[in-house]
Amino acid sequence: MKASELLALARCKRSNSTERVLLAAAAFDTAVRAPLVLVGGAAQMIHSGYERHTDIDMVGPIDAGDRAALDRLGFTRDGRHWVIGSGDEEIAIEVPAERLYGEDTPELVEIQGVVVRIISVNDLMMDRLIQATDGTPVTWDEALALAVAARDRVDWTAIESRCRTAQADDVFLRNLPAVLDRLIRHLT
């Protein structure tokens, strides 16, 4: 399916729906040359099943040819986002990095015959735990919501090992194991 067709389908879906996010991500990924990976709040929505208002974050390289293709598709740059539509129909996609810093292979979800790559649940859990080291309620709530929704799919032994390694490698993450311990106490 063409990017324009996927985008047209996305724009017809409810603004906070999982289907809209997947269709928009598929359209964006189809328009560019290198495969992208869905990350951030949109990936959390897919992994948790909880719909919420969020922009769509994707990771991967975007070059001049990709920018031209996105322009032809109708996307315009607005700060750090690629935007199409307005109001409730607006779709905003951010590409915050060229490379995914995860350990696991992205998970694959098919929509309308197009495969969307999504950050693995373990890599997303690590991302949420690292963000929660800042101590703010918002980042803690994100980590806890993912842990509750995906508790049976997260490899908690691997997450604990990765937290201990990250703590040893980065002074700013010294409280990461404590954040994980707190989260696990909330799950039991």
- 67 shares a domain with 33: yes
Segment 92-128, tens digit of pLDDT? 999 999 999 889 999 999 999 999 999 999 999 999 9
- The pLDDT-based confidence of 172 (bands split at 50, 70, 90) is confident
Question: What mean pLDDT value characterizes the chain?
Answer: 93
Q: Which of 78, 94, 119 is the last residue of a domain?
A: 119
User: CB–CB of 55/92 below 8 Å?
Assistant: yes
- 91 shares a domain with 7: yes
Segment 113-123, tens digit of pLDDT? 999 999 999 99
- 152 shares a domain with 114: no
- 35 shares a domain with 106: yes
| Region for 79 from its dihedrals, namely left if φ exceeds 0, alpha if ψ lies in -120 to 50, beta otherwise | left
- Mean pLDDT, to the nearest integer, of 7-24? 92
Q: Cβ of 14: how many Cβ atoms within 10 Å?
A: 10
Q: Which of 103, 119, 135 is the last residue of a domain?
A: 119
Nearest to 46 by CA among 80, 79, 23: 23
Measure the CA–CA gap between 38 and 41, rounded to whole angstroms.
9
- Mean pLDDT, to the nearest integer, of 141-149? 95
Segment 44-63, tens digit of pLDDT? 999 998 887 878 999 999 99
Where are any strands of DSSP class E within 85-147? 91-97, 107-111, 114-118
Q: Max Cα separation, the chain? A: 51
Measure the CA–CA gap between 108 and 35, rounded to whole angstroms.
12
Range of the domain at 143: 122-187
Q: For residue 165, is pLDDT > 90?
A: yes
